[in-house]
Amino acid sequence: MDLVDTTNQMGKGMLSIYERYNRVRISGYIQPQFQYTLQEGAETFAGGNFSPMSNNRFTLRRGRLRVDYAHLNKNNDPTSYFVFQFDGTERGVAIRDFWGRFYENKFRIFALTTGMFARPFGHEVNLSSANRESPERGRMSQLLMRTERDIGMMLTVTSRKSLSWSQKLKLDVGVFNGQGMSGTSEYDSHKDVIGRISLKPTRIHALGGATLSAAISGYAGGITSQSETVYKTRMKENAFRAVKDSSDSNYAKVLPRKYAGADFQIFFPNRTGKTEFRAEYVFGKQTATSGSSETPGVYPVSNGVKDPLYVRNFNGAYFYFLQHLGSLNHLFVLKYDWYDPNSKVSGNALTNTAGFSKADLRFDTVGMGYVYVANESLKFTLYYDLVRNEKSALKGFEKDVRDDVLTCRVQYSF
């Protein structure tokens, strides 16, 4: 059945409940780590920026405690499922999941999820940090969907019988606040609609028994402008500029957060493990601020005045190559990702006088690592991020910034 998908935490929880006929499962993990970067105060997406006088640090990247509860009817069909998860580190304690799901059992097709949970967009956003081979998600995933989760409701349409090709498909459609966990409350009335249609892992005999999964995702959302001023990248005087628009009609206008993406995952089994390839591409329009392309968690304000919003066209992608080395305990990881927050302009056309900032810079990252799985409760990761920003005319970014990061991590789980 679709519920028992051991590639995610919910699937593992359901499998445990079904195997042992229990109603509750408690699980968790912690990730102590040491990191080193090339210069003090480096800005990084490998677990947050370094302090101004530090180029190395010990941190507790994540400390998760999760409780799953399933209610089954007399036929052992699930009727409801409940999850809550906390994250505790040296920076404090926060919630990560607080949601419930109920199922209809006449057709065994529909389920409705409500609460705080991961947005149904893309593959990497929904891949648990406990299972992901790279220490962090890519820059694009972090900026567009900080903390991955949001508050809302989602309808899932898929067969729990898995008897035919059509029952290999799954549709998730949800309505969410939009700002996610990066803000404490909804700051406008506009809701974001997110959808994903996916092919469940399917064996392809024509490819030597490879297993393929794939999906397309869409995000239709926006931010309601609370200012009359909006900036967009347009051609002016034979050059692209961040052009100011102060029309009265901009006030209360919904500015776009519209994304489209596609992803696939394929692995080939061999005698000692598997070889796996993953890829995902996303493009669209993003509304954010002058200094960042991250979706704002609270509406930006400076000195009591509402800041103008910036609308940019973006694109980004990531590619994984995973190879077991002689056994399932040893894994080589190679990852490449890029994120271009302003795809209309690049290089020396990026200048401060034209209204651009580091929020418009493209970054490319190559990650290489080794993962050793000692047992089901202990995992070691050695990983290096080689980060390159595009050379521009922006002050401080005329050449590549020294912000590579080495991560040494131990993960304990139960």
User: Would you place residue 347 in the very low, low, confident or very high pLDDT band (cuts 50, 70, 90)?
Assistant: very high
Task: Tell me the Cα Rg of the chain.
Answer: 22
Tokens of 381: 């990761």
What is d(CA 151, CA 99) in angstroms, rounded to the nearest whole number?
9
What is d(CA 287, CA 296) in angstroms, rounded to the nearest whole number?
9
pLDDT in tens, 220-278: 999 999 999 999 999 988 889 999 999 999 999 999 999 999 999 999 998 889 999 99
Contact call for residues 295 and 176 (beta carbons, < 8 A)? no
Q: Spell out the residues 6+ positions from residue 94 whose beta carbon is closer than 8 angstroms to its own.
A: 86, 87, 181
pLDDT in tens, 28-40: 999 999 999 999 9
Report the chain's terminal Cα–Cα distance, integer Å.
24
Q: Structure pTM?
A: 0.90
Query: Which H or E run contains 16?
Result: helix 9-20
Instruction: Name the pairing type of β-strands 305-306 and 149-158.
Output: unpaired
What is d(CA 83, CA 70) in angstroms, rounded to the nearest whole number?
9
What does the mean pLDDT of the chain come to?
92
Residue 213 confidence (pLDDT) above 80: yes
Per DSSP, 20 falls in state H
Tokens of 27: 């699980």
Average pLDDT over residues 150-163: 87
Q: What percent of the chain has pLDDT over 70?
A: 93
The pLDDT value recorded for residue 163 is 58
pLDDT in tens, 394-408: 999 999 999 999 999
The pLDDT value recorded for residue 5 is 45
Q: What percent of the chain has pLDDT over 90?
A: 81
Task: List the beta bridge partners of residue 118.
Answer: 149
The dotted CATH code for 9-413 is: 2.40.160.10
Domain-by-domain residue ranges, the chain?
9-413
Pick from 335, 328, 334: nearest CA to 379: 328
Contact call for residues 412 and 378 (beta carbons, < 8 A)? yes
The pLDDT value recorded for residue 168 is 87
Residue 21 confidence (pLDDT) above 70: no
Average pLDDT over residues 304-324: 96
CB neighbours (10 Å) of residue 23? 11
Pick from 230, 120, 113, 232: nearest CA to 170: 120
The pLDDT value recorded for residue 11 is 61
Q: Residue 40, SS3?
A: coil
What is d(CA 356, CA 347) in angstroms, rounded to the nearest whole number?
11
Query: Which H or E run contains 383?
Result: strand 378-389
pLDDT in tens, 65-115: 999 999 988 888 889 999 999 999 998 999 899 999 999 999 889 999 999
Residue 291 confidence (pLDDT) above 80: yes
Pick from 162, 151, 244: nearest CA to 191: 151
Return the higher-pLDDT residue of 239 and 16.
239
Residue 16 confidence (pLDDT) above 70: no
Q: Residue 77, SS3?
A: coil
DSSP 93-159: EEEEEEEEEEE--SSS-EEEEEEEEE-S--SGGGS-TTT-SSSS--HHHHHHSTTSEEEEEEEEEE-
Contact call for residues 243 and 231 (beta carbons, < 8 A)? yes
